Structure 1
């Protein structure tokens, strides 16, 4: 499975916002500069996290983005699904019923074993992402990272 590059952008942006003091915002322009990303594209992608209730956005001279709820309540799955949606990446098209190798109908009464295995893998992946919060990601960072992120992203200690 290959996710769009915007998934990486939003995972990193949400993690960075989770390192800010409560109520502090960072603009799309600041986030884009922080990661050397195209500002207009990032701003559009950040709106997906706002629509999903992961981020809150404020307007005005001091406006920007912040987490919409505590980092402990935002999982990696929330972010990934905001970008990519919840659908499984594998879709069985029943090619086992086609061509010279087509199986008879009586051998296709149960689901395709390959489709079952791919669904199991997708569910395991989803469970893993759902079990990992932004707070856990922050806890895994080097101790100096949050202060450095705050300083470089917002200019505050």
Structure 2
């Protein structure tokens, strides 16, 4: 299975936004710069994450993105589904019905065995992604970091974090 580059970019961006305080945001341009990716491609995924309710936006020229949910409430599956969509990776087209000698109709009362096996694998894959939250990932990174990653992020955040005029939790509606 191959996921788009947008999934990796989205997960890293969500993880970075998880470190912000309540009155802080990061611009799409800053997130793209930090990760060395195309700003326009990342922006497309940030907007998708925002529409899905994972991210929030603070408008205006000094605005940016922040987590709209707790990192403990955002799973990898949430991010993958927001970026890739909810459809299963494997979609059976019943090609057994094609060709010069198609399988008789009686074989189509139950799903194709190949499709059934692929859907079982998809359920396992999704269950594993659902079990890993952004909080879990951050704890793993923190446990394995000798201080290098934290220092890199802190320097960047100090230079790029935007302070909003109010705490996001005080925003109307």
TM-score by length of 2: 0.81
Q: SS of the residue aligned with 1:123?
A: helix
User: Structure 1 regions of 5+ residues with no counterpart?
Assistant: none
Aligned residues: 156
Aligned twin of 2:164: none
1:34-73 correspondence to structure 2 within 5 Å = 34-73=34-73
- 1:104 shift after superposition: 2.4
| Distance (whole Å) between structure 1 residues aligned to residue 150 and residue 121 of structure 2 | 33
Please report the TM-score for the alignment, with normalisation by the length of structure 1.
Answer: 0.88
How much does 1:101 deviate? Answer: 5.0
Deviations 1:19-47 (A, max 9, x none): 33344211111111101112222222201
Counterpart selection for 1:155 from 133, 152, 159:
159
> 3-state DSSP class of the match of 1:66?
strand
Distance 1:69 1:147 in 2: 25
The equivalent of 1:124 in structure 2 is 124
- Provide the rounded CA distance (Å) in 2 between the counterparts of 1:44 and 1:107: 43
